Structure 1
């Protein structure tokens, strides 16, 4: 009876998630039962969980922490260097420092996200308390209501111990993946990622206005961003990550993801 009850409960949870997604017309939302996994913290956090959690706050703190987005542009954002970016987006760490953590010396050295601000790679290995103090200075005007001190320590841990070198698997001239074992990536993708994304990566579509965005599309166009999602999970959703596994596995997954279909399935 216990097994049957568990199966029924699991099925109910799955159906609830589907119904929730359909009701909201968003297949990327999570059911209430997943709130703790998505936004909470374990009683005894492991190192991989801590770094992934910090990485999600670096990505999009309001979504990661289930907080309201700030209205208006970050007063520390250099609008003189880039007047195109405004509003809440300017409060995201990645907006100034990049998905590759190199800031003005990386992929954001030009284009619509250029700010002229340095990356965070210079802080690798520094004491977490020292980094956390920097994250409370005038250049980082986050209040404790936005990001608590405990949560900021997660960001600091990520900055100190969680960064990876995107140049180790990306061609920066073309912003394309040039390393990784595609076969092993396929093995990992088909046995984990496919549960939500489908075997061809097209079960979820983030596109709009007639444009389609699938796993393959993203891996080809913004592989540095996708690597952050592989290592830390996407913010605000019930997604797994590979932070607890060797980094080369994540490289293998993105190498395979870049081979997946870009066009919508034929009807």
Structure 2
């Protein structure tokens, strides 16, 4: 199968990653998303010769949750630069996305109000900035990411993502109401059924992040937070054995998102 946006789309099948023995399914009780030792290199390591798509996706996972992405622990304390008037606290405040948002626009985007509002601007202004300047900002006292948190060898992943890995989420999602506004669900169905369904199942219900009868399948998550799901389609969820579509760009990712919102939410 090919698609005008990318004639190499059929190579997506090569991205399918085997489920490790510890992968969690909807009927598991503990929902522990740990992975086996055989997956350690794929989840937390890096290839010998790094490609641009791998670099940007790895940076996107650091942006999401650097501790899970890099096999470390988030601090238990609240980030010193996190506004005292805002509603979060503790380890989650150390995640880049917590202040800057899944749409990368911070207070100017979806996080302009609600439980994640901080008043902090997004990172879209850093597009095209020199990577050393971005690294210096992340090492500064404002951000406070030490080499023990993100090493000097790992820092190029997040700086690459910030300077050239962001997509314009507003092309695909209405930032005023989180409605999906673009994407070809028919194309997305083909990608999902040949790649994503290996882990999520054809109906999207094989993995469940909910509690008890309050299910949270991939269709549930896509409907509620499509900006977050779009980010994870492009970069994968940190700390788990998940394929991503970074090599195929935002339009293909949006096709998959358009299909995900047709899947069962319950």
Regarding TM over 0.5, the answer is yes
Change (3 A) 1:110 1:226: same
Q: Does 1:158 align with 2:172?
A: no
Distance verdict in 2 for CA 1:246–1:18, change over 3 Å: same
1:143, CA displacement in angstroms? 1.3
* Counterpart among 94, 115, 118 of residue 97 in structure 2: 94
Is 1:240 aligned with 2:246? no
Using the TM superposition, give the Cα deviation of residue 44 of structure 1 relative to its aligned residue in structure 2, in angstroms. Answer: 1.1
Measured against aligned partners, the alpha-carbon deviations of 1:6-57 in whole angstroms (never above 9, x if no partner) come to xxxxxxxx79x33675998336332110001000111111000000001100
Alpha-carbon deviation of 1:217?
Answer: 0.5
**Residue 179 of structure 1: which of 164, 176, 182 is its match?**
182
Alpha-carbon spacing, 1:133–1:201, altered in 2? closer, same or farther (3 Å) = same
CA distance in 1, matches of 2:168, 2:60: 14
216-225 vs 206-215, which moves further:
206-215
Contact 1:184-1:252 within 8 A present in 2 as well: yes
1:217-245 alpha-carbon deviations (Å, 9 max, x no partner): 11100000001110000010000000011
Cα RMSD (Å)? 1.8
CA contact (8 A) 2:183 2:251 kept: yes
Which of 167, 170, 177 is the equivalent residue of 1:167?
A: 170
Which of residues 73, 81, 98 in structure 2 aligns to 1:76? 81
Between Structure 1 and Structure 2, how many residues are aligned? 248
Shift of 1:210: 2.9
Does 1:188 find its partner at 2:194? no
Residue 230, structure 1, aligned to residue 233, structure 2: yes
Deviation larger for 26-35 or 221-230? 26-35
Work out whether 1:56 is the aligned partner of 2:39: no
Structure 2 equivalent of residue 65 of structure 1: 70
**Unaligned segments of structure 1, at least 5 residues:** 1-13
TM-score by length of 1: 0.89
Runs ≥4 residues deviating over 6 A: none
Aligned residues of 2:56 and 2:160 also touching (Cα < 8 A): yes
* C-alpha contact (below 8 Å) 2:22/2:33 kept by paired residues: no
**Structure 2 residue aligned with 1:8:** none
Q: Select the structure that is richer in helix.
A: 1
- C-alpha contact 2:134 2:159 (8 A) present in aligned 1: yes
Larger radius of gyration: 1
- Matched with 2:216 is 213
Between the two structures, name the one with larger relative contact order (CA 8 Å, sep ≥ 6). Answer: 2
